[in-house]
């Protein structure tokens, strides 16, 4: 399986970015479906854009898992990959906006794709070097699942902080309150 790592990361990047891009529009395409809301972007907040990367990465991790059964560090690596991708979106977005005051859509799209690429690159490096040593993979999987629960919960009841605020409307979450 070692020779296939770069192919797996390329597939993960393609899957995550294409599926994430589709999720950006899914809520509107479904007429505001309550079933689509937990998995798709319901507004233009930074949090909702993080959700667009989380769900495809999580789904791809579950698709990929049977092929990596021999890897005891699998969920630790996937957890680090997901955390890096999710962290980069707000860090890059707020840094760019802090420097330039605003960001055009093409920069925001670039941030999404760059975050996904760097996360996949980290995954490739960690698998290639067989790092980290993972003593509690169940803990990593639990943390990833907890993130999923937070993405669902905060779709309907987001905290009133800028990360969750739609910069276009000033509203929060699905209800737009």
pLDDT of residue 177: 55
Over the chain, what is the mean pLDDT?
92
- CA distance to 99, 136, 146, 168, per residue, from 54 (Å): 26, 21, 12, 23
How much is the pLDDT for 70? 87
Q: CA 83, 149, 37: angle at the middle one, nearest 5? A: 100
What DSSP line would sit under 157-175, residue for residue?
Answer: S--SSGGGB-TTT--BTTT
- Vertex 67, ends 62 and 127: CA angle to 5°? 90
3 pLDDT exceeds 70? no
Q: What percent of the chain has pLDDT over 70?
A: 95
Position 1 pLDDT exceeds 80? no
**Per-domain residue ranges for the chain?**
2-164
- Checking if the pLDDT of 5 tops 70, the result is no
**Does pLDDT of 104 surpass 50?**
yes
22-42: pLDDT as tens digits: 999 999 999 999 999 999 999
Give the range among 1-10, 18-27, 97-106, 159-168 with minimum mean pLDDT.
1-10
């Amino acid at each position: 399986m070692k020779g296939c790592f770069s192919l797996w990361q390329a597939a993960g990047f393609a899957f995550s970015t294409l599926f994430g891009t589709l999720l950006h529009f899914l809520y509107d395409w479904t007429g505001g479906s309550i079933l689509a809301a937990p998995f798709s972007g319901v507004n233009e907040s930074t949090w909702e854009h993080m959700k667009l990367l989380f769900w495809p990465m999580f789904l791809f991790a579950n698709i990929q898992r049977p092929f990596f059964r021999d890897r005891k560090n699998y969920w630790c690596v996937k957890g680090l990959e997901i955390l890096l991708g999710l962290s980069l979106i707000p860090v890059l977005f707020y840094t760019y906006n802090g420097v330039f005051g605003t960001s055009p859509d093409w920069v925001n799209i670039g941030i999404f794709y760059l975050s996904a690429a760097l996360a996949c690159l980290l995954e490739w490096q960690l698998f290639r070097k067989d790092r980290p040593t993972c003593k509690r993979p169940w803990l990593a999987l639990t943390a990833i699942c907890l993130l999923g629960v937070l993405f669902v919960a905060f779709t309907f009841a987001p905290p009133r902080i800028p990360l969750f605020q739609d910069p276009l409307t000033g509203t929060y979450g699905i209800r737009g309150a």
